[in-house]
Amino acid sequence: MGRKLDGLYHAVQLPGKFKMAVSGCKINCAESSVHDFGLIGEADGWKVVVGNVGVSPRIADEVAKGLDDQQALDYARRVIAYYTENATKGERLGKMIERIGLDALKAALR
């Protein structure tokens, strides 16, 4: 899954830094919960978390779970599209979420 995300988004221009992590199980070894976008493998599929890494880290919030591979990739596409359309230049995803609200992001991703 990490290779698929890298193939789709490596070198894509975004409003600010955007780091992704994929953890194959709920032990979360890749620390997906402290990246802008994270996937965590669970018994019933992927869990999607969004947060922020950097100078002012923001622990990620769960926005979806139980997704198969294709649904997880689609969710990544929607998160990145929303971020691209709504973030200000240099703003990290977590800071954008703090500005617009987690509920607004969740509503836009449905």
Per-residue pLDDT of 61-86, as tens digits, reads: 999 999 999 999 999 999 999 999 99
The mean pLDDT of the chain is 94
CA 57 to chain centre: 14
- Does pLDDT of 42 surpass 80? yes
Report the pLDDT value the prediction gives residue 91, as an integer from 0 to 100.
Answer: 94
Rounded average pLDDT over 9-30:
94
Q: Is the pLDDT of residue 56 over 80?
A: no
Q: Which CATH superfamily groups domain 2-109?
A: Sulfite Reductase Hemoprotein, domain 1 (3.30.413.10)
- The helix (run of H) or strand (run of E) holding residue 98 is helix 93-100
Domain segments of the chain: what residues? 2-109
CA geometry: angle at 79 spanning 85 and 31, to 5°? Answer: 130
Q: What is the pLDDT of residue 110?
A: 87
